[in-house]
């Protein structure tokens, strides 16, 4: 064995590569792998009965099988569309309200206490009413999701608007910017870091809300699919569905919000 | 525009504004004229309303009465020939240096390539060639203000207003920047108006220094500065003017303090009188307000 190889090997064994800058971002893989391994061992040796918990390898097999099934994918898409519609609906109402609340003190004093009051209520407590009004379907789910998404978007945008320095408004005025370009070229970018964190929070909230509603009211989606699988005893399918949701939620979070946030990090 | 009209004329500008349910009298009958190409510095005790005056000249704020005339015409709101440099630079952090400079031209719908070209020229004037694609957060205070200066100049204004433009920058950089602004003034022959609390700065740059009184601000006195440029801060005539203005400002400040003290004494006297006349309750409420 050459000296270089020996050096490389000892470096690996002492874990210095892992602590190196290049790999440090992936350290989280270790506890995750340990967790999965523990799961596999515990179930493989029946420390937890298979009827309560499938083995990890079994879940993986079912997972890769399921994601080739169009009906399974359609359910995930359905849930995702509900989440997205809820956010878009909430955003289109919350953005103008929050902007006016953030810039006009009187409006803020009129509206924000009421928003806080409703925000303090557990969102899902409205669900039975929504089901009564709209029936147990996608509309109730979307309305519920938009209610849940409203609060983080409203408060972050309002905060962002309040934080815009007065001087920047003076700059837009000096160069005779019209109302529309003041909003699109000054206000929107100025509040965007706040707005992005609000949207991200709303996205996280809405996945929980949508899954909960699908389980509770049997709206077609991945939530009701999990419920169905577990109640009929096919736990591995349920776990595979959870794994699928996690994958979709994380990938979209990274792709969409990750991109937005890395843009904001460049200058903020 | 009459031949005798100054470039910018302030006609008895008076400004009241509401602050915490009390009406504040900020400016009282401020009048003076500014000639084309003149460098005017406005100084006064802090909080006297000099920044308010500049905002009114910029068209960002309206006077309660009186008017600004620019080239003979009354001013309503911001004017394309009047530009401004801000105390905290007023840069958009999400725009690069070049994009910040471009902003004014963009608002005037100048085609992209054209405005890029102009902006690059002015970045060169302020010594920031090569920094086009940096973001403001990557720049020092002095460099940020250079961007602010380029942004103000690229729209080819006739009047450049500066609100404490050097006060958020370290002393040495500010000194260099002042010299550069003086040079730009000399070369472009634009009209400059600088609001500042830094007396030496005012005398170094100004053709005339307008001294405002404390609130409500009036024009206390106008000092023409006829020293040779570039100016030497240690020159005896420089120091002489400095001493004169400082004396005036100190006097003004002392008067204000005495006025405040007198008001305090009067109020105490009132309280005292009331207690003697046997109305302690009323006296107490007076004291609270």
Q: How many CA atoms lie within 13 A of A251 on its CB side?
A: 7
Inter-chain touch B86–A266, beta carbons under 8 Å = no
Which residues of chain B neighbour A164 with C-beta distances below 8 Å? none
Q: Per-residue confidence at B286, pLDDT binned at 50, 70, 90?
A: very low
Inter-chain touch B78–A266, beta carbons under 8 Å = no
Mean pLDDT in chain A? Answer: 90
- Position B163 scores a pLDDT of 95
Q: What percent of chain B stands above pLDDT 90?
A: 75
- Rounded CA gap, A129 and A199, in Å? 26
Q: A47 touching B, CB under 8 A?
A: no
Looking at the predicted structure, is the pLDDT value of residue B283 above 50? no
Q: A268 touching B, CB under 8 A?
A: yes
- Rounded CA gap, B82 and A179, in Å? 20
- Position B224 scores a pLDDT of 96
pTM of the model: 0.85
Least confident interval from A35-44, A144-153, B109-118, B278-287: B278-287
Burial-class residue A68 by CB neighbours within 10 Å (0-12, 13-18, 19+).
exposed
* 3-class state of residue B193 by DSSP: strand
Higher-confidence position of B46 and B95: B95
> Which CATH number belongs to the domain containing residue B55 in this structure?
3.40.50.300
List of E strands, chain B:
8-19, 22-34, 39-43, 65-70, 73-74, 82-85, 159-163, 191-195, 208-212, 219-224
Looking at the predicted structure, is the pLDDT value of residue B85 above 70? yes
Q: Per-residue confidence at A70, pLDDT binned at 50, 70, 90?
A: very high
For B105, nearest residue in chain A (alpha carbons)? A175
Domain membership flag for residue B151: no
Domain membership flag for residue B72: yes
Looking at the predicted structure, is the pLDDT value of residue A11 above 70? no
Look at chain B and report how many structural domains it folds into: 1
- Position B1 scores a pLDDT of 47
Q: A190 touching B, CB under 8 A?
A: yes
Residues 156-175 of A with CB under 8 A from B: 165, 167-168, 170-171, 173-175
How much is the ipTM here? 0.88
Domain membership flag for residue B49: yes
Paired sense of beta strands B82-85 and B159-163, if any: parallel
Looking at the predicted structure, is the pLDDT value of residue A46 above 60? yes
Inter-chain touch B90–A190, beta carbons under 8 Å = no
pLDDT in tens, A23-41: 888 899 999 999 999 999 9
Question: For chain A, which domains are there?
Answer: 3-44 (no CATH), 71-267 (1.10.3720.10)
Inter-chain touch A170–B55, beta carbons under 8 Å = yes
- Position A181 scores a pLDDT of 96
Domain membership flag for residue B100: no
- Position B96 scores a pLDDT of 97
Residue B70's Cα: distance from chain center in Å? 17
When CB atoms are compared, the residue of B80, B86, B135 closest to A170 is: B86
Domain membership flag for residue B191: yes
- Position B55 scores a pLDDT of 95
When CB atoms are compared, the residue of B94, B106, B155 closest to A267 is: B94
* Nearest one of B145, B155, B52 to B91, comparing CA atoms: B145
Domain membership flag for residue B178: yes
Mean pLDDT in chain B? Answer: 90
Q: Taking residues A205-222, report their average pLDDT.
A: 90
- Position B19 scores a pLDDT of 75
pLDDT in tens, B151-179: 999 999 999 999 999 999 999 999 999 99
- Rounded CA gap, A239 and B29, in Å? 78
Looking at the predicted structure, is the pLDDT value of residue B79 above 90? yes
- Position B242 scores a pLDDT of 95
Domain membership flag for residue B126: no
Higher-confidence position of B261 and B185: B185
Looking at the predicted structure, is the pLDDT value of residue B281 above 50? no
- Rounded CA gap, B232 and B236, in Å? 9
Higher-confidence position of A111 and B273: A111
Transcribe B43-77 into DSSP letters. E-STTSSHHHHHHHHHTSS--SEEEEEETTEEP-S
For A171, nearest residue in chain B (alpha carbons)? B90
Looking at the predicted structure, is the pLDDT value of residue B94 above 70? yes
Q: B40: domain range?
A: 8-81+157-288
- Position B255 scores a pLDDT of 84
Number of CB atoms found within 10 A of residue A110's CB:
11
Domain membership flag for residue B172: yes
Q: Per-residue confidence at B18, pLDDT binned at 50, 70, 90?
A: confident
Looking at the predicted structure, is the pLDDT value of residue A235 above 50? yes
Backbone dihedral angles phi then psi of residue B134, each to the nearest 5 degrees: -85, 160
Across-strand partners of B67?
B11
* 3-class state of residue B27 by DSSP: strand
Q: Taking residues A75-85, report their average pLDDT.
A: 94
pLDDT in tens, A158-206: 999 999 999 999 999 999 999 999 999 999 999 999 999 999 999 999 9
Q: In angstroms, what separates the C-alpha of B136 from chain A's closest C-alpha?
A: 8
Q: Taking residues B245-256, report their average pLDDT.
A: 89
- Rounded CA gap, A108 and A114, in Å? 10
- Position A3 scores a pLDDT of 62
Q: Taking residues A130-150, report their average pLDDT.
A: 92
Q: In angstroms, what separates the C-alpha of B108 from chain A's closest C-alpha?
A: 8
Which residues of chain B neighbour A180 with C-beta distances below 8 Å? none
**The residue to which tokens 């004329």 are assigned:** B9
Looking at the predicted structure, is the pLDDT value of residue B275 above 80? no
Which two three-digit tokens encode residue B261? 């003290």
Looking at the predicted structure, is the pLDDT value of residue B288 above 50? no
């Amino acid at each position: 064995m050459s000296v270089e190889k020996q050096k490389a090997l000892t470096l690996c064994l002492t874990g210095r590569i892992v602590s190196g800058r290049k790999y440090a971002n992936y350290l989280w893989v270790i506890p995750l792998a340990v967790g999965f391994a523990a799961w596999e061992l515990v179930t493989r040796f029946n420390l937890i009965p298979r009827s309560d918990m499938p083995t990890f390898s079994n879940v993986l097999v079912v997972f890769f099988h399921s994601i080739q099934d169009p009906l399974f994918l359609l359910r995930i898409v359905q849930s995702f569309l509900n989440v997205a519609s809820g956010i878009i609906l909430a955003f289109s109402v919350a953005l103008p309200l929050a902007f006016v609340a953030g810039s006009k003190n009187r409006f803020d004093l009129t509206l924000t206490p009421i928003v806080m009051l409703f925000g303090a209520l557990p969102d899902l407590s409205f669900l039975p009413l929504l089901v009564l009004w709209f029936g147990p379907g996608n509309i109730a789910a979307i309305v519920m999701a938009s209610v849940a998404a409203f609060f983080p978007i409203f408060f972050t945008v309002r905060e962002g608007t309040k934080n815009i320095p007065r001087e920047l408004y003076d700059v837009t005025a000096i160069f005779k910017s019209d109302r529309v370009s003041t909003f699109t070229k000054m206000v929107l970018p100025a509040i965007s870091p706040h707005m992005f964190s609000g949207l991200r929070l709303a996205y996280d909230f809405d996945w929980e809300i949508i899954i909960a509603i699908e389980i509770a009211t049997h709206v077609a989606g991945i939530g009701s699919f999990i419920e169905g699988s577990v109640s009929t005893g096919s736990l591995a399918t349920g776990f595979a569905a959870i794994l699928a949701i996690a994958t979709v939620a994380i990938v979209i979070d990274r792709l969409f919000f990750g991109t937005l946030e890395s843009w904001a990090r460049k200058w903020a | 525009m009459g031949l005798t009209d100054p470039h910018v004329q302030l006609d008895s500008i008076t400004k009241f504004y509401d602050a915490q349910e009390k009406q504040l009298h900020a400016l009282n009958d401020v009048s003076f004229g500014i000639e084309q190409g003149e460098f005017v510095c406005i100084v006064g005790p802090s909080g006297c309303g000099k920044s308010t005056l500049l905002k009114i000249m910029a068209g960002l704020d309206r006077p309660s009465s009186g008017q600004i005339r620019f080239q003979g015409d009354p001013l309503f709101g911001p004017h394309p020939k009047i530009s401004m440099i801000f105390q905290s630079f007023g840069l958009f952090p999400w725009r690069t240096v070049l994009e910040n400079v471009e902003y004014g031209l963009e608002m005037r719908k100048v085609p992209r390539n054209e405005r890029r070209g102009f902006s690059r020229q002015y970045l060169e004037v302020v010594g920031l060639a090569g920094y086009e694609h940096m973001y403001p957060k990557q720049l020092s205070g002095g460099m940020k203000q250079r961007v602010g200066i380029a942004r103000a100049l690229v729209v080819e204004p006739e009047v450049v207003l500066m609100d404490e433009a050097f006060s958020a920058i370290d002393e040495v950089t500010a000194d260099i920047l002042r010299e550069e602004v003086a040079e730009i003034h000399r070369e472009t022959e634009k009209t400059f108006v600088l609001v500042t609390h830094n007396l030496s700065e005012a005398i170094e740059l100004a053709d005339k220094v307008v001294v405002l009184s404390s609130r409500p601000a009036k024009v206390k006195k106008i000092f023409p500065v006829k020293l040779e440029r570039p100016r030497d801060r240690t020159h005896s005539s420089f120091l002489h003017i400095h001493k004169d203005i400082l004396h005036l400002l100190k006097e003004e400040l002392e008067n204000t303090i005495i006025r405040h003290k007198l008001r305090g004494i009067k109020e105490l006297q009132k309280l005292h009188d009331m207690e003697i006349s046997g109305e302690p309750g009323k006296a107490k409420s007076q004291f609270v307000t």
